[in-house]
Structure 1
Amino acid sequence: MRKLRLFFGFIFMMILFIPHGHAERIRDLVTIEGVRDNALVGYGIVVGLDGTGDQTSQTPFTIQSITNMLSQLGITVPSGSNMQLKNVAAVMVTAKLPSYSRVGQQLDVVVSSLGNAKSLRGGTLIMTPLKGVDNQVYAIAQGNLFVGGAGASSKGSSVSVNQTAGATIPNGATIERQLATRLDEQDIIHLHLNQFDFTRALKISEAINKLQKNSAVALDGTTVSLKMPKESHARVQFLSKIQNLEIGRTPISAKVVINTRTGVVVMNQKVQLDNCAVAHGNLSIVVNNKLKVSQPNTPLAGGTTVVTPDTQVSIEQEGGALHNLAAGADLKRVIKSLNLLGANPTELMSILEALKSAGCLHATLETI
């Protein structure tokens, strides 16, 4: 119960420090259609490991990659060679290519082991093409790896801190191809809201129309249509002004979010509770199965020794008194009422579901 009170107390303190009624900027609420990151991926080889690379007998693709790479460098590996390499690892390389990126700019890349390498610490990524979804090469990655984890092992014992099979290379990729963007050619673009809300979409369109008349229309709770100026420099100025426009905070829907994997329960400030009575308790079923050996009393009795099971089943139920939960018109009173139950987070999930079914909890339950 003490942990539950501390949990709700912490949530309530966080809510107290949230600025109520503060205006929101449009740049924090929407994204511009077509302006997004694009995923890049590539297959590469890391060399220079200190004996922590792939076990090549179990990862034949690593040997095949080394053979292909050496052949491109003019080195022929005799057929049938059994290379036992410990300083090489096959990896997957990923990066994000932002919109309006230009040739020659650099990107951060993430390198992840594909085989059974123990660690990528100290390795160097060999030149790796990074392709987009259209199978075109947009960047080339190469460089020394930065591994945030560490590990050591000796005589069957090991210790590790964080992840050692993954690494990053800051500015490790150079852009070789630009993305084709048509934002400058479009007369109408769309702003997509991060959260579906008709009221917020309407407020955004009204704020834009105050800046420039008849330029924005709220199509639905997610999309605002925006009429763009014809000149390219005027488009940049127009979008810059729109991003910095502020609108008043819109009312939010009451919601309770439950994480069934971790037992975390979070509710926003609009949650309300009607007067109700709740009783909760734990039901435990214990099955204890013991094996007993039954044998004849005398050696000459002629019987045989047998094993007989002895199963005992018991049902225990903790007593749960009926508690009255007072009506709560704000989050502070809701937390105070729920704390009186003394339920742990797992029990609280079931209680909230029952309160919702009974019509006492005025909020939407969302499970993640």
Structure 2
Amino acid sequence: MMARLFLSVLMALTLALPAGAASRIKDIAMLQAARDNQLVGYGLVIGLQGSGDSLRNSPFTEQSMRAMLENLGIASEGGRARAKNVAAVIVTANLPPFVQSGARIDVSVSSLGDATSLAGGTLVMTPLRAADGEIYAVAQGSVIVSGFSAQGQAETLTQGVPTSGRVPNGAIIERKVEASMSDSASLVLQLRNADFSTAVRVADAINTYTGSRFGARLAQEEDARTIRIRRPKGISYARFYAEIENLMVESDGPARVVVDERTGTVVIGNDVRISRVAISHGTLTVRITETPRVVQPEPFSRGETAIEPFTEIEADQPDANVALLDGPNLQTLVSGLNRLGVKPDGIIAILQGIKSAGALQAELVLQ
């Protein structure tokens, strides 16, 4: 029953959109110049309620704490610190394109030592560097943690990940990434999913628009992912892209079946086809039961009480269903799998068997 519901929902969601549904260019492609940059930094989270790093197992936390105090003009003593309200963390963030100095972005905070929770902590001012080693942002603020951990003498309960969290708007941009688009003579679009057919359709849609708007064909596909567009004269970079990013294009892609064996998830693309094949699916269950018996000696005999082993073996094989699958479209394929009445893990095994038999006309991706 669960398998039928699973496949019915899958079919309904997939068939809700017609094959080759049109999408905006902005949804299937992105500007090459409009890219994010990753930032990373090392910092300290303070104010924890006894859930910080144990300084014996995390000596770098103590070193960082002493260095911070010295930078603040506080001389630390030579003895070892015993504070448990400090944790060393790695701070990461994505620097969006075209961002200017003074803007704020979110940052993620993850524990580096053996802290048990970052709940209630505050991230101390942490510089964030890019791959070139330069500082582009500075992060500071209260850490928001969604998970929690409760521990007693005999049991520990943990929900979520209490050793990582976020600081919303916690980083201030100190330096912008130089990416001036006004001096560029062309735009470069990159498809999110590489496909030659989609690239050609995007170039044709842009050429149809620019032919009537500017009197010239300005787009040219270069490969399965890249489309280069010449910028016409007399119009700004931003205005020109704003005009073409909402053009509708029918995207295409290879037929693909994605299987996640850990969660039992199966996603079947709309273009998946199956050649005519017969499938039999059944399970064999063998049950072995050990029931030792106590054997008593005869009265007035010199025998001894003994234990006699007794083993009972049962084999149960439910009637295996045989279904004939011939998938000219997704609806027929899902209906055929529904007739088998198997669970999602059985569907995964069936799809793998169909692929091994050479009857699955699609790429099988195992995750």
Return the TM-score normalized by structure 1.
0.85
Q: 1:251 to 1:27 in 2, by over 3 A?
A: closer
- Within 5 Å, which residues of 2 pair with 1:1-368? 2-18=1-17, 22-79=21-78, 81-212=79-210, 213-229=216-232, 234-247=236-249, 249-282=250-283, 318=317, 321=320, 323-368=322-367
SS at match of 1:183: coil
Superposed CA RMSD in Å reads 2.7
Give distance in 2, aligned partners of 1:324 and 1:47: 63
The size of the alignment, in residue pairs, is: 344
Q: 1:209 to 1:353 in 2, by over 3 A?
A: same
Give distance in 1, aligned partners of 2:270 and 2:356: 20
SS at match of 1:275: strand
Shift of 1:209: 1.3
Give distance in 2, aligned partners of 1:353 and 1:72: 61
Q: Deviation string for 1:293-322 (max 9, x for gaps)? A: xxxxxxxxxxxxxxxxx9x9x996846647
2:264 partner amino acid: G
Shift of 1:203: 1.3
Shift of 1:165: 1.2
SS at match of 2:326: coil
Q: Mean alpha-carbon deviation: is it higher for 279-288 or for 336-345?
A: 279-288
Give distance in 1, aligned partners of 2:190 and 2:196: 12
Please tell me whether the aligned partners of residues 281 and 317 of structure 1 are also in contact (alpha carbons under 8 angstroms).
no
Please tell me whether the aligned partners of residues 99 and 176 of structure 2 are also in contact (alpha carbons under 8 angstroms).
yes
Structure 2: unaligned runs, 5 residues or longer: 211-215, 291-308
1:94 partner amino acid: T
1:78 partner amino acid: E
Q: Deviation string for 1:54-107 (max 9, x for gaps)? A: 11111111100011111111122232x121011111111111111111111111
Give distance in 2, aligned partners of 1:185 and 1:246: 28
Please tell me whether the aligned partners of residues 280 and 320 of structure 1 are also in contact (alpha carbons under 8 angstroms).
no
2:227 partner amino acid: V
SS at match of 1:148: coil
1:223 partner amino acid: T
Return the TM-score normalized by structure 2.
0.85
Please tell me whether the aligned partners of residues 272 and 362 of structure 1 are also in contact (alpha carbons under 8 angstroms).
yes
Shift of 1:222: 1.0
Q: 1:209 to 1:77 in 2, by over 3 A?
A: same
Q: 1:119 to 1:187 in 2, by over 3 A?
A: same
Shift of 1:252: 4.3
Structure 1: unaligned runs, 5 residues or longer: 290-309
Give distance in 2, aligned partners of 1:250 and 1:119: 45
Q: Mean alpha-carbon deviation: is it higher for 348-357 or for 164-173?
A: 348-357
Q: Among all aligned residue pairs of Structure 1 and Structure 2, give the percentage whose two residues are the same amino acid.
A: 37
Give distance in 2, aligned partners of 1:339 and 1:19: 22
Please tell me whether the aligned partners of residues 145 and 165 of structure 2 are also in contact (alpha carbons under 8 angstroms).
yes
SS at match of 1:11: helix
Shift of 1:143: 1.2
Please tell me whether the aligned partners of residues 256 and 272 of structure 2 are also in contact (alpha carbons under 8 angstroms).
yes
Shift of 1:38: 0.6
Q: Deviation string for 1:108-138 (max 9, x for gaps)? A: 1111111111211111111110000011100
Please tell me whether the aligned partners of residues 275 and 324 of structure 1 are also in contact (alpha carbons under 8 angstroms).
no
Give distance in 1, aligned partners of 2:77 and 2:82: 14
Q: 1:23 to 1:261 in 2, by over 3 A?
A: same
Q: Deviation string for 1:204-237 (max 9, x for gaps)? A: 1111112222211011221101112456x62111
Shift of 1:31: 1.1
Q: Deviation string for 1:311-345 (max 9, x for gaps)? A: x9x99684664714142322222122122223333
Q: 1:196 to 1:68 in 2, by over 3 A?
A: same
Give distance in 1, aligned partners of 2:321 and 2:148: 53
Give distance in 1, aligned partners of 2:353 and 2:5: 23
Please tell me whether the aligned partners of residues 323 and 340 of structure 2 are also in contact (alpha carbons under 8 angstroms).
no
